[in-house]
Structure 1
Amino acid sequence: MAKNSGRSRKPSGPSSRKKKPLWRRILRSLFLWGTAAAVLGAIFLGTAVYFTMRELPSYSALKSSQNGQMIVVRARDGTELVSLGPSYGRWLQGDQIPPIMKKAMVAVEDRRFYSHFGVDPLGLLRAVYTAVTGDKRIAATSTLTQQLARNIFLNNSRSYVRKAREAVLALAMERKFSKEQILELYLNKVYFGGGAYGIDAASRKFFGHPATELSTSEAAIIAGLVKAPSNYSPTADVQASIDRGKVVLGLMAKNGAISQAEADATDLSKVKIAKEEGQNSVRYFTDWALPQLDLLLPETNEPIEVWTTLDPKMQRAATAAIDKDVPKGAQGALVSLDKDGAVLAMVGGTDYVTSNYNRATSALRQPGSAWKLFVYMAALEAGYTPSDRVVDEPVTIDGWSPHNAGRNYAGEIDVRSAFAYSKNTIAAKLGNDVGFGTVASMARRFGITTPINTQPAMVLGTSEVRVIDMTRAFAEVSAGGYSVEPYGITKVTAANGDVLYQHKSVQGQALVPHYVVAGITDLLQTTVATGTARAAQLGRPTAGKTGTTSSNKDGWFLGFSSGITTGVWMGRDDAKRVGGLSGGHAPARAFHDYMVVAVANRPVEQFDTKLQLPEWQLEPDDEMLQGDPDDYYYTDENGNLVHPGTGTQYEDPPRYDDGAVGPGPGPGTPQVPDNNDPRSGDPQNGNVPPAANDDFLDRATGRGAPAQDPGLRPGQGLGTAPRPSPSPSPARAAGNGTP
């Protein structure tokens, strides 16, 4: 048996091979998985881009799309008052855009625009590096295409999801549109501040000419706005826009868009910035009128034109009058209405830029003696006439003793003189005689919407009101006692000219009989002619009333002439004293300064002050005085309409800091009487006065009137001189019948 010789062989196979180092195996795995992930990512990205490209709107559709709603507000004569919302200017085709504008925008926003495919890889790497080493935020490295995609389709949130969507949209747009189309879209849609979208809107806003005429220096300033429109706006900070423009010129020279010599020779300080048209006081009006579109129109984002009632000439005159006559440190407001309620002018303060608070429509202030309009109308409706004799003397009502200005008393005078010289004692007596609730009811009828107290001092105007509401009340007197609704929008049209809304004037409801309007107009006319409002005289028939509150905190004048009614208020926002302020001085002068312009082209109109008393007042027999209870409407002490056998709704009236008025929880908010109610009588023929005495009201409502309530207590007399007629007191003769 032979023996094996030599060395034995080692087994061969996989186990005999030497293993690769661990790091090589890790790298190999990473490479394989990375390649697979990249392939899958590329497939996913390509699919996303493909489907996004298919869903993209056409080029023409993108051209017509807009961001936000454009509203052009026009004045009474059709001139443009203000343009609100985005402004797009004229669309410029690629060959109409100045080459220097294209070069400036590419140089400052995306210098590799013509070489990348929608996303700039180098910029993306820089963004990632900034995110890793910097403040963890995504750097602003979007290409022009990405910016365009964001402006059209996305929002400005800084998130990775938004950036990813932005990149996909940019890649899709680069596949669907050419570079020139993308640049054209961008330059016509990018936001440059001040509401201007696109270079044409920006050029017109900042330089006053079309973008086709842009110079190198102007193009540099516009291109520099994209980064921060509010910071570099030439109308907000000229120097900041110049400094930014210099940066743009340097980048243009660096990228070869212009030579360095041309950049150095461009003097940005010589660029002429267009002055913005004055929109100061006009904005008070637009702030009041435009919110009404929500009620007038269905919801729409289409561009619209709003045609208003504002008269530019009158608005300028109103602004000038307030600026000229308002006391130093005080504010002023003015509202002017045409006979149908159209707002011709509105000023809500001395400077809209400083304070956009509209004191003409929002501020609540005490009207002082201007409130006597309602006191005397209630007295006239109850049977008093301008010629009736009354006694101006000290009076005390429930512990309250009003005083006249100067604390003097005239003795026996007529109602006309008492109103013209604003005698507080007579107003108190009249209010007490007709009932303070009746005065509140009259104010409600004439459009006062704020709470009204019924303490005796209410006759001197301690209930706060709005300027526009008081102006409306005087306008309703001017309109013959018919209701007037202030309005500011006449029509609204779409971009194609279609009328979306048209204001329709309607005849207002009669609020008081004609003899009341004739009587109060007589009183108002006398106030301007010989009374406290002589500073408001216009050289033509003018009627009005002054108002001054305690410590000269508020000054008012409200009046009308030739179909135009204007209310003026002056005072401090903090309700502190204004030295020398009174309704017959600064407010009356402002009324005069404005109205001489407002009525200049209007025919002179004579007032109808012929007093045709109703039959019940001329023939005071028992049957006529008592009348039919169904011909009356009834109000409680706060002027609320009361139906026999039913209750009324109340709310707490306001309290006042001076403690003069402001009852505790109790009756409040009266309602406007319904002139269509059969119990209201016919306010035109004056067959019966629309009021009932206290005893009849008690029986009608089934409850007793508290004796301590001055609103329902029988009058204490006016201290009147003997009348020629033996007829009973007209205030008490209004309703002594038995139901």
Structure 2
Amino acid sequence: MHFTGKRRTVVLLFAGLLFAVAAALGTALGLSLAANQNTRNMDEIMASRPAIPSRLLDINGELITEFFSDEKRDIIPITSLPENQIYALLTREDAPFYKHTGVSIGGLVRAVINNALYVITNKGYFSGFSTLTMQVAGARHADRTDISVSRKLKEIWWSYQLERRFTKEEILEQYLNSVYFGHNTYGVEAASQFFFGHSAVENSPAEAVMLVIQLAGSGLYSPIIKPDAARGRQREILNQMVSAGHISPEEADTSFNNYWSNFDWSRSASDSPYFNRLANDKAPYFSEYIRTNIEQYLFGQQDIYRDGYTIHTTLNLDFQREADKEVSQGLIQWNQSYRYDRDTKTDYASSDLVQTIDLISLVFNIPEIRVAGAQEKRRAEEYFENKLAPVMDMMAMTFGLTDLKSLTTITYKKTRSNTRMNNVETALITLGNDNGYILAMIGGSEFNRNNQFNRAMDAKVMPGSAFKPLYYSAAISSGIVTPATRIYDSPRVFISPDGTPYVPGNYAGRWAGYVLVRDALARSLNIPALTVLEKIGFDAAISRSAALLGITDPQEIGETFDRVYPLGLGTLSIAPIRLARAYATIANRGRAVEPIAIRYIEDRDGNIIVNPERELRESQEKRDIQIMSPQAAFIMTSMLQTTVARGTLAYARRTVDGFDGMPIAGKTGTTQNWTDAWTMGFSPYYTTAIWIGFDKRGNSLGRYQTGATSTGPVWARYMKAIHKDLPRIDFPRPETGIVEVRIDKRTGMLPDDDTPEDQLRDEIFIAGTEPKTRSNMAAFEKDRDEEQIIKISVDSSLTNLNDDGSSSAAFTRDLFSELGLDPLYLDGGSSPNRTNNGSDNSSNTSSILD
């Protein structure tokens, strides 16, 4: 029904009067109920506190990030806020707050009159009469979307209840910590941090006013979205504060001018705490790891986004900042090397090969191999992406051409995807040797919406030679091999249990001849490594490796470790965290290290509700897992120190001019065609793993981009930085079970009277495994080649492979020829990299770049 003229006026006046009477009755009812109603549930009702984010702290108590969903809120006591924040709020929202008892009768009458006049005359404004107390009551005990009289009556009743039970200051604190200030911020502290970058404790009068005018909602006075409107409204409220005597005119002018002279005009309308969290997160890969794994500790209805937990973690942000700095610098160099190598290959192919291939395609009518057409297509795509797409994008936005915008969007997505797949990716993880603390974590080249995969924890990549120490440790433990065991490094065939022959090579295709195990590991020689694997067998090697990596499930062990000889060169796929765990266990005197990220969790009141570290320590004490003896671990540590001193990590050590006396052990790893590069290493304090490679398999980092030359220097700079303030300590030597013996380093035996001084070395052994016989150079020179020839010739596995009845030796010779290896080595010929007395004469550069 539609009323016009006088009838409309009468109806509206009657409705307004009826509302006023209802409100008055409600007020009277509220007063009566407030005097007599049993309020035993008031404390329980008010205890329903506002949602606040959970805070992630590092090991020193520094904030890493906060977890929140659509609300960003921090609680601050009213006593910490400046007076001008309270005055600004009361000036804008509820000037008679300290005079009324929850409901302003004058405000109610004024609202009825103003609203009636607005409806009747279309002049004036539509106003409400909610006090701050009513707003708190309505937010907690009424549906604010309901505009009925019954909702207002409920607010009035609860307002009197609140005023009767709580002080004015407590009501103000409830209000300021719960009200919405726009841009997904709830509460005055979170809003101040978002808008001004500092705590509400520091708010000037102009900043205090800027916050309270956000209460109008819908971004009407957002300084980010509508700075001109915000400026005018801010000045208006400041003037009102001056008129009310809260601040002086000079204070109002000074704070107003300071605010706008320092205003950041570059902020975007899309800014919000939720979208800015990643930018402010000091360790995003670590934070995301915590977020996705915390549910195992918090059961039931707990919500990390709203329940305000404090999560105390193991991360050390000082280490994290060093890691971020060094890896970022490394990524620049790694990507430059990759692109240079790629472009060099492309240029060569384009200039020397394409024309020949296309000619063959035309002559023999093989269109599938034609290259020029594909090149032209690629050049056209690059021109479209770089030249046309930006112009089309601008036209689409200017003229609203949706289809055109969709086309450019697809192009940009494809470009980003291709770029990401062809960028060098990386991972870094640092563990505490004695406690398993995850102290630093990098899971990729850059954490963003398109690159959140945590390669440090979840990637499955080949470790290359960085895997060798795991099964070397089994050989040392067994006593079958010692650091002084002599192994012949020359081309040979290894036959896997399934009968598959395998002929590995060394980096740069060179051979060392006789070499001691300590030096073979330091120089990452492949033939000696597989010979060690052969000596101990696959069962022992896989058992030890799985234990060190923390793989206990039999099915996973079977899927991870192929029982073939390439396994010994690191062809399995594992996550960096597992390899870091293995090396940390060696550093921890052979006692199992289990990585941990969360120490304990507190609720919003500071009560410890979960203590993962205590639970882990109790479990470790019960299980008491000693993977290898302290003696074997000490010898492995010593051998890996040799890698840093004069092996594949010597170059990295020299780039940082040493580690200031801190003992460091480590190993590098590089996979075939320079696809992956690793550096693993530890001190008596910490273990760090660094990996680089690609998400897209098949890419190459570039020629000679090895663990020694690429990740090695980055690892060395980082390790030196995190140890700079620590006292120098040695790796702990077992009190018993280790003996030190002087040996002839040519033979690994005890020296004889003719051993030159420069061929002597002090070596350590597990007691009982030290050499007992003295060197005999005449016998050594006679046996050095025959020993290897006989071993190959009499191998029954090879005999079974000869379908034509030829001898094993002949088969081996033919196989070596097919593989492009010189059969001369099978006939006892001298290795080109050693002198006739058996000592190593290879160049350091070619032999250590693994």
SS at structure 2 position matched to 1:528: helix
Deviation at 1:604, TM superposition (A): 2.4
Secondary structure of 2:458's aligned partner? coil
Is 1:88 the equivalent of 2:69?
A: no
Instruction: Measure how far apart 1:511 and its partner are.
Output: 0.7
SS in 2 for 1:426: helix
Task: Indicate if the aligned counterparts of 2:456 and 2:577 stay in contact, CA closer than 8 A.
Answer: yes
> What CA distance in whole angstroms lies between the structure 1 residues aligned with 2:477 and 2:535?
12
User: Aligned pair in 2 of structure 1 residues 514, 252: CA closer, same or farther (>3 Å)?
Assistant: closer
1:501 CA displacement: 4.5
Alignment of 1:272-421 (within 5 A): 279-289=280-290, 293-296=294-297, 303-326=308-331, 327-328=334-335, 329-340=423-434, 341-353=436-448, 355-382=451-478, 383-396=480-493, 397=495, 398-421=500-523
CA shift in 2, pair 1:117/1:228, >3 Å = closer
Whole-angstrom CA distance in 2 between matches of 1:282 and 1:317 = 12
Q: For 2:220 and 2:442, locate their aligned partners in 1 and report how far apart those are by CA, in whole Å.
A: 30
| Partner residue of 1:566 out of 660, 664, 688 | 688
1:515-554 equivalent positions in 2, closer than 5 A: 515-537=631-653, 538=659, 539-554=661-676
Cα distance per residue 1:490-546 (max 9 Å; x no partner): 344455554445534455411123443234223312211111111443243211111
Alignment of 1:427-438 (within 5 A): 427-438=529-540
Q: Which residue of 1 aligns with 2:549?
A: 447
Q: Tell me the equivalent position of 2:177.
A: 188
Distance 2:522 2:427 in 1: 24
Deviation at 1:565, TM superposition (A): 1.1
Q: Deviations over 1:249-275 (max 9, x none)?
A: 377599999899989994553246799
Q: Is the 8 A contact 1:281 1:349 kept in 2?
A: no
> 5 Å matches for 1:37-116?
65-68=48-51, 70-85=53-68, 86-91=73-78, 96=83, 97-104=85-92
Q: Structure 1 residue 556: deviation in Å?
A: 1.1
- Aligned with 2:584 (options 464, 472, 475): 475
2:407 corresponds to:
none
C-alpha separation between the residues in 2 aligned to 1:124 and 1:434? 92
> 2:230 maps to what in 1?
245
- Equivalent residue, structure 2, for 1:656: none
Query: For structure 2, which runs of at least 5 residues remain unmatched after alignment?
Result: 96-102, 121-125, 268-272, 336-422, 654-658, 740-763, 773-799, 802-811, 813-825, 829-850
- Distance of aligned partners of 1:544 and 1:590 in 2 relative to their CA distance in 1, 3 Å threshold: same
Check 1:514–1:188 CA distance in 2 against 1; reply closer, same or farther (3 A cut).
closer
Aligned-partner Cα distance in 2 for 1:566–1:231: 52
CA distance in 1, matches of 2:465, 2:731: 25
**Structure 2 vs 1, CA of residues 100 and 401 (structure 1 numbering), >3 Å: closer, same or farther?**
same
Matching residue's letter, 1:320: K
2:154 matches 1:202:
no
Asked if the contact 2:137–2:159 (Cα under 8 Å) also holds between the matched residues in 1, the reply is no
**Quick one: which amino acid aligns to residue 346 of structure 1?**
M
SS of 2:691's partner is: strand
Contact 2:312 2:598 in 1 (8 A): yes
Cα deviation code 1:146-167 (max 9, x no counterpart): 86456535789x7x6x989865
- Structure 1 residue matching 2:457: 3-state secondary structure: coil
For structure 1, the residue ranges without an aligned partner over 5 or more in a row are: 1-22, 130-138, 620-706, 709-716, 722-739
- 2:77 partner amino acid: R
Cα distance in structure 1, aligned partners of 2:107 and 2:458: 56
Partner of 1:679: none
Whichever residue aligns with residue 604 of structure 1, its letter is I
Deviates more, 1:65-74 or 1:297-306: 297-306
The whole-number CA distance in structure 2 between the counterparts of 1:592 and 1:245 is 53
Report the TM-score when normalising by structure 2: 0.56
Matches of 1:587 and 1:87, distance apart in 2 = 41
Counterpart CA distance in 1 for 2:680 and 2:219 is 42
Shift of 1:228: 6.9
Partner of 1:459: 568
Task: Map 1:188-267 to 2 at 5 A.
Answer: 188-192=177-181, 197-204=186-193, 206-207=195-196, 211=200, 214-223=203-212, 225-226=214-215, 239-240=224-225, 242-243=227-228, 245-246=230-231, 248-249=233-234, 252=237, 266-267=256-257
CA contact (8 A) 2:142 2:154 kept: no
Q: Distance in 2 between matches of 1:422 and 1:231?
A: 67
Measure how far apart 1:424 and its partner are.
2.5
Decide which moves more: 364-373 or 352-361: 352-361
Q: What is the deviation of 1:445?
A: 0.6
Give the TM-score taking structure 1 as reference length: 0.63
Of 265, 269, 272 in structure 1, the residue corresponding to residue 260 of structure 2 is 269
Q: Say if 1:249 and 1:263, in contact at 8 Å, map to a contact too.
A: no
Q: Which amino acid aligns with 1:605?
A: D
What does the per-residue CA deviation read over 1:156-187, in whole Å, with 9 as the maximum and x for residues that have no partner? Answer: 9x7x6x98986565344345456978666433
Distance of aligned partners of 1:315 and 1:271 in 2 relative to their CA distance in 1, 3 Å threshold: same
Which digits, 9 at most, give the CA deviation of each residue in 1:207-229, with x for residues without a partner?
35554653343234323545779
Q: Which residue of structure 2 aligns with residue 605 of structure 1?
A: 730
CA distance in 2, matches of 1:286, 1:391: 49
Alignment size in residue pairs: 571
Distance verdict in 2 for CA 1:616–1:560, change over 3 Å:
closer
Q: Match for residue 700 of structure 1?
A: none
Alpha-carbon deviation of 1:602?
2.9
Q: Which is further off, 363-372 or 286-295? A: 286-295
Going from structure 1 to structure 2, the CA distance change for 1:123 and 1:357 (only over 3 Å counts) comes to: farther
- State the SS of the aligned residue for 2:707: coil
Q: Deviations over 1:280-300 (max 9, x none)?
A: 443333333466654456666
Residue equivalent to 1:490: 599
Identity %: 24
Q: 1:474 to 1:95 in 2, by over 3 A?
A: closer
Decide whether the 8 Å contact of 1:378 with 1:434 is kept in 2. Answer: yes
Secondary structure, counterpart of 1:446 in structure 2: helix
The residue aligned with 2:715 is: 591
Which amino acid in the other structure matches residue 720 of structure 2?
A: V
Q: Secondary structure at the match of 1:605?
A: coil
8 Å Cα contact 2:64/2:281 also seen in 1? no
CA separation in 2, counterparts of 1:420 and 1:285?
Answer: 33
Structure 1 pair 475/294, CA: closer, same or farther in 2 (3 Å)?
A: same
Q: Given that residues 381 and 516 in structure 1 are in contact (C-alpha distance below 8 angstroms), is that contact kept between their aligned partners in structure 2?
A: yes
Query: Shift of the alpha carbon at 1:362?
Result: 2.4
